[in-house]
Amino acid sequence: MTDLRTHMHGLWLPLVTPFRDGRLDETSLRRLTRHYCTQGIDGFILGATSGEGMTLRDAELERLVAIVRDEMAAGRRSVPIGLGLSGADTSRMKERLDETAHWPIDFYLIASPYYVRPSQRGILAHFEALADHAAWPLALYNIPYRCAVGITNQTLLRLAEHPNIIGLKDCGASREQSIALLRDRPQGFRVLTGEDANYFEALSDGADGGILLSAHLETATFAAVHAELRRGNPDAAEARWQEVAELTRLLFAEPSPAPAKYWLWRSGLIDSPEVRLPMVEVSSELAATLDREIERRSEKSAYEEPLVALRPDSHMATPIMQT
């Protein structure tokens, strides 16, 4: 992208990574890519938290990027790709930037150094070193409940002035901090929420969009929330939001992305709900709850395109989606 800032808005999907029998499920990955490119998303994030990136080997991560780019090239629509990278060693992270510099991506999404609990000066120096070194632009990822240390607005505003830092995935868990950042940020610095349950609230406060695991389901509705707000229709946007708000709680009832993978498997978009340890598949109790919600939503939308098949290997008859 010549100016990625102009594209970094709207609905971004942190794509799950499908596995089968311990390996990357390339067939399901191609199916997912084709499907979501028709659903109104504005970009993909690959290999981040929702994509179980910390369990992927380097070769798997490279193959993941190549397949998604290949499927988009073969289709009728292409969107930007952000690559999730994280680490606590600045020197090793610079090596990772070198190793991925030739990959067909558009930017990196990089979280704060985890576990080591650096000071704000350390966080600033870390990201400046990476931004100076990277061949692709950087988007920051502020998620203190995973990294143990949050990025303050003072640090974020200094980093926002760096020409190779284009935006932020905001999971800071403080609406007050987010509103202040949106007020004070320099022009062109994009802020997308990563808190699924706060999507409508964040957009109403002025965020540019969202990076939402929940948008794997009813994607067009999540996209419509943003579109209606941009058109100046807050009541219509809130009505669309109420259609999917419950999904943002249900899909995080157990550690993500297991609930979303279960739902995608039951819907026929992936061939297995498999996750990699230390993640485990959903409990039988949550599976039953998800089944009931899938059935309810299927019945509600039964007037739409006919369902053409049923998954035979599930305990409840569930539509298999054609792609």
If DSSP states are collapsed to H, E and C, what string results for 81-140?
EEEEECCCCHHHHHHHHHHCCCCCCCEEEEECCCCCCCCHHHHHHHHHHHHHHCCCCEEE
50 among annotated binding-site residues:
yes
pLDDT at 302: 56
pTM of the model: 0.92
Grade residue 315 by pLDDT with cuts at 50, 70 and 90.
very low
Q: Is 300 a catalytic residue?
A: no
| pLDDT value at 312 more than 60 | no
Q: Is 169 a catalytic residue?
A: yes
Grade residue 321 by pLDDT with cuts at 50, 70 and 90.
very low
Q: Which of the following is catalytic: 36, 108, 141, 199?
A: 141
Q: Which of the following is catalytic: 169, 199, 261, 262?
A: 169
Q: What gap in Å lies between CA 190 and CA 8, rounded to an integer?
A: 7
In 15-91 the beta strands, taken as DSSP E runs, fall at 19-20, 23-24, 43-46, 81-85
86 among annotated binding-site residues:
no
pLDDT at 220: 96
267 phi and psi, to 5 degrees? -90, -5
State mean pLDDT over 2-14. Answer: 86
Instruction: Give the pLDDT confidence of 86-107 residue by residue, as tens digits.
Output: 999 999 999 999 999 999 999 9
CA angle 113, 119, 124 (to 5 degrees): 70
Which percentage of the chain shows pLDDT scores above 90?
A: 86
Grade residue 145 by pLDDT with cuts at 50, 70 and 90.
confident
CATH number of 4-239: 3.20.20.70
Do the strands 23-24 and 19-20 form a parallel or antiparallel pair, or are they unpaired? Answer: antiparallel
CA angle 186, 189, 195 (to 5 degrees): 125
